[in-house]
Amino acid sequence: MPKARDRFRGTLPMAVRFVLAHGTLPVEAAPGAGRIEAFEIKHYAAGRPGVLAEMHRLWCEYRDEIVAATPLGRMPWVQRVLEAPETLDSDVNDETDDAEGGER
């Protein structure tokens, strides 16, 4: 019997799209597909050039999808990182708010 068509084929997994747009890992309610890749993008981009190259590829290929997932008036996290990778570990791209000590 043929498999049903995957309605998400040709799009980014939800967790990956979320981290590229927001710079934080998705909440536990997000589906499991792509959660490991999202974690690697968020936490290993600074130390591995291959992860930055993959982020660049995803940005070029799925730019419209990532921008659509980003809140209005904000720049996607992946765009900020790719424009200034040296700031990846700084407060600008950090997922915590140091003033409040919690997540944004």
Predicted local distance difference test score (pLDDT) of residue 32: 67
Our count of domains for the chain comes to 1
Residue 7 placed within a domain:
no
Cβ-count burial 7-19 (b if 16+ within 10 Å, e if not): eeeeebbbbbbbb
Place 42 in a pLDDT band, splitting at 50, 70 and 90: confident
Of 6-15, 36-45, 76-85, give the lowest mean pLDDT range: 6-15
- Does the pLDDT at position 8 exceed 70? no
For the stretch 59-101, pLDDT in tens is 999 999 999 999 999 999 999 999 988 777 654 454 444 344 4
Q: 96 near 103, Cβ under 8 Å?
A: yes
Q: Which domain holds residue 21?
A: 14-103
